[in-house]
Structure 1
Amino acid sequence: MPTTIKDHLTLRTVDGGADLLAGELGQLPQVTVLKTLTASVTCRIDGELQDLYNCPLYSTAAIPLAGNPRDNGFLDPLHASTKEGFLSTLPHPLTFRIGAGREFAPTIARDLGWTNEPADWTVNLTETGTGWIAEIGPLYWTRRFGRLERLPWSTNPVVAEVVVRLAKIRSEHRVLDPFCGSGTLLLSANRQARPAELIGSDKRSVQIAHRNFAARNVSAELSTARAEQIQQPDRSIDRVVANLPFGKRVGSHHDNVRLYPAAVAEIARVLTTDGRAVLLTEDKRLLKDAVARTRGLKIVRERLLRFNGATPTAFVLIRTGGRRM
């Protein structure tokens, strides 16, 4: 989508990941970051859209609106976007829906020349805690990167992108997820850095991960195995990324009392001298205790994330005495 536009957009990410999103956007010459909140970044784009379109750190993108539907100028940002912004790149007439304030749908349809189609919309006008926005359907994460086949406990794709960035993966790395589930974290690692090797295992079937990788033509070594017995040689893995079971949708605290120390010990065994692991969990005290009791590992960073009622922390681990990367 090498389209040149001028527009203002608010990009929504996971709570706790906005600084990473703002940092990546700030590296794009056509993007100016205007405001960063805990779960969103508002920016101005003046140039090609492709880099912004390809950024996987946001789930939705929206045009901030002016006031509320009763105010003069409410639709001005949409008129502007239709002329030279993102909306100018879409087939017209556009379809839209509006939640609260449905009585304004006829006025919007008349003023913009759009069609009110609540079941098949391109633009969704909705009120948030910070004001009215117009969400753009084609910029939803699943529209840009495809829908993943998932398990009920699968990692949120944007959360996966945050975890992968904390891991600082490079192209020469061997990357392991010993709790890979549907493969979301490994697919994020591949999207970011195209590492030399992706390795995933899970005690449950990895057939869903196989299908997700095949659908994207991504190669990975996937196997059914327990995290307490990682089938890799000592000091052979550069990066470990994992969403640990923490008892809300899968596993239990009781099981984790045994699992966490055993899995952490295996991670310590397989990590290279300059290795790095990023582990996501809500069973935080248990993980901290497991790391503290494991020779050769230490926690160097913690990042709290909030999404869908969950509040896990991503823990960054390196070797004690190892060189921080």
Structure 2
Amino acid sequence: MSRVAGRFVLRTVDGAADLLIEELRGMVAVHSVRQVSVGAVECMVDGALDELVRCPLYSSVAVDGAEVPALAWMRRFGPLERLPWSTNLVVAEVLTRLAKVRPGQCVVDPFCGTGTILLSVRRRVPTARLLGIDRDPHALELAARNLSHPALVRGLAEALPVSDGSVDRVVANLPFGKQVGSHRGNRELYPAVVRELDRVLAGEGRAVLLTEDKRLLRAAVERERGLKVVRERLLRYNGATPTAYVLTRISKRPTSR
């Protein structure tokens, strides 16, 4: 790719600027990286754009007031089948990074929809073993078009079709009760989902769950007792203010004899 030089301002979702900064500082052609607002990062670029093109953590870019076609949204992400409630592409990248997926791990999205989060995981860790589950057959149809050789199953997040302790990572955008589901429905759904996570997660497993129904999720985790929230990240985009919760197992103390 041709070399460029200039001042770039990259826009990401509010709450993800630190992740974008971390990736930019690892790029050969990028220097003088700094955060200029809650969701914007400025940097100087002098060199090839290859690494910047591959970075999926920003949604738009301004370059000395001019557009760089190679950095356009469609050029970087390509055409994707979407539904109105599909996960924001940059948000999916944030969730994937919080999940800390390692090569060869089994990653499950129990509300996979059109497969946005699974695509993000595959982009970052190509050797991860992916499984998408959703109750909506139309969403699964679209996910199959987005993912090559997908492992997709029609099913319920409350009754995952996987064995006990067999899943390394669960990454999901839960129904908020706005575009999908309802707050009333979530009162039963969230506790059932957390119970399933406790059943299927491996000993060193981790779950990353995004929701705006925050009290319900925290209450469900506290009641289950086998899992705990170890990290929270508030995100803001398109009028939504969900929090990404990172869950791990509670370490059991060895029984004294």
TM-score interval, smaller chain: over 0.9
SS at 1:293 equivalent:
helix
- Please tell me whether the aligned partners of residues 172 and 209 of structure 2 are also in contact (alpha carbons under 8 angstroms): yes
- Residue 196 of structure 1 deviates from its aligned partner by 2.9
Task: For 1:107-122, list aligned pairs within 5 A.
Answer: none
* Equivalence for 1:208: 142
Distance in 1 (alpha carbons) for counterparts of 2:142 and 2:208: 23
Which residue is 2:58 aligned to? Answer: 58
Q: How does 1:175-324 map to 2 (within 5 A)?
A: 175-205=107-137, 206-213=140-147, 218-321=148-251
Q: 1:146 aligns with which of 78, 89, 97?
A: 78
Q: How much does 1:137 deviate? A: 4.6
Question: d(CA) in 2 for partners of 1:196 and 1:294?
Answer: 28
Whole-Å separation in 2 of the counterparts to 1:220 and 1:268: 25
Task: Measure the CA separation in 2 of the matches of 1:316 and 1:260.
Answer: 15
Superposed CA RMSD in Å reads 1.3
Question: Which of 100, 103, 127 matches 1:168?
Answer: 100
Separation in 1 of the partners of 2:167 and 2:52?
A: 32
Q: Percent identity, aligned pairs only?
A: 55
Letter in 1 for 2:157: A
**1:33, 1:194 → 2: CA distance?**
31
Structure 1: distance between partners of 2:217 and 2:145:
31
Give TM-score, length-normalised by structure 1.
Answer: 0.74
Which structure 1 segments of 5+ residues have no match?
65-132
SS of the residue aligned with 1:155? coil
Distance 1:147 1:303 in 2: 29
CA–CA distance in structure 1, aligned partners of residues 69 and 194 of structure 2: 41
User: Greater CA radius of gyration, 1 or 2?
Assistant: 1
Please say if residues 21 and 33 of structure 2, whose CA atoms lie closer than 8 Å, have aligned partners that are also in contact: no
CA distance in 1, matches of 2:105, 2:31: 32
Query: Could you tell me how far 1:152 is from its partner in structure 2?
Result: 1.1
For each residue in 1:200-258, what CA deviation from the matched residue of structure 2 results, as whole angstroms up to 9, or x when unmatched?
Answer: 00111111101111xxxx33210110000000001111110000001110100000000
**Size of the alignment, in residue pairs?**
249
User: Quick check: 1:31–1:43 contact (8 Å CA) kept in 2?
Assistant: yes
Asked if structure 2 preserves the Cα contact closer than 8 Å seen for 1:10 and 1:61, the reply is yes
Residues of 1 paired with 2:8 and 2:89: CA distance? 21
Kept in 2, the 8 Å contact 1:176–1:199? The answer is yes
Secondary structure of 1:308's match? coil
1:135 CA drift (Å): 4.3
How far 1:32 sits from its partner (Å)? Answer: 1.0
Shift of residue 42, structure 1, vs aligned partner: 0.7
* Contact 1:22/1:33, CA 8 A, preserved across alignment: no
Determine which structure has greater relative contact order: mean sequence separation of CA pairs < 8 Å that are 6+ residues apart, divided by chain length.
Answer: 2
Q: Output one character per residue of 1:161-217: Cα deviation in whole Å (capped at 9) or x when no partner.
A: 00100001111211000000000000000001113311000111111101111xxxx
CA displacement, residues 118-138 of structure 1 (integer Å, 9 cap, x when unaligned): xxxxxxxxxxxxxxx444454
